[in-house]
Amino acid sequence: MSGFIRPEMRGRLARWAEPAFGIAAALYAARLLWRGYVLQDWILETLGILLLPVGLGVFWAGFRRALFSGAGGGRGVVEVDERQITYLSASGGGSVEMADMTRLEIRRSIKWGPVWVLKSRAAPTLFIPVEAAGSEKLFDALTALPGMDMSALIAARRSPPETRNVIWRAPERFRALT
């Protein structure tokens, strides 16, 4: 029975599973709220009131994550561990500590197509193909950057530019003149 759904369709369905669960939870909460109102049951109303924002929050976070993730199947593998982004590939790779990041860009590479460019103070610039396996993990990791505009990140991912597009820059640090 595992061959009933094609692998590419299974991937698409898995991509949208979190938003579907969130909307199902929100609908169930709305039903609880309505049922509690009709039956004058304050317990059901309270459960509905508490569950509704949770379901909507799960839906919103999953929806944004689903918009960010791609088809995969590109070159290399992305791993995120302990605030360190690592890219592994047969033709190279590297890692960047998120605390040392200075700039995040997306640009078109002649060799790999659209790529994420992670610049750092302490490591060489890291180029990660947008369609690399595991690149959806970047969404959660990049939300931790101070001042990151997630709408700009999703928009950049959905339509990679023909030229360099700077998405995030590190805030200026105070330097003492000594």
Residue 99 has what DSSP assignment?
Answer: G
Residue pLDDT, tens place only, 93-148 = 888 988 888 899 888 877 777 888 899 888 888 988 888 888 778 887 888 888 88
**Crossing angle for the helix pair 17-39 and 7-15, to the nearest 10 degrees:** 50
Name the amino acid, one letter, at 23: I
Q: What angle do CA 133, 67, 53 make, to 5 degrees?
A: 120
Q: Are 36 and 85 part of one and the same domain?
A: no
Q: Does residue 32 sit within a domain?
A: yes
State pTM to two decimals.
Answer: 0.65
* pLDDT band at 73; cut points 50, 70, 90: low
Average pLDDT over residues 58-86: 80
Q: Does residue 1 sit within a domain?
A: no
Residue 133 has what DSSP assignment?
Answer: B
Q: Are 83 and 164 part of one and the same domain?
A: yes
Range with the largest mean pLDDT of 22-36, 56-70, 85-99, 156-170? 22-36
Q: Are 51 and 96 part of one and the same domain?
A: no
Q: Are 37 and 86 part of one and the same domain?
A: no
pLDDT at 49 over 70: yes
Residue 175 has what DSSP assignment?
Answer: -
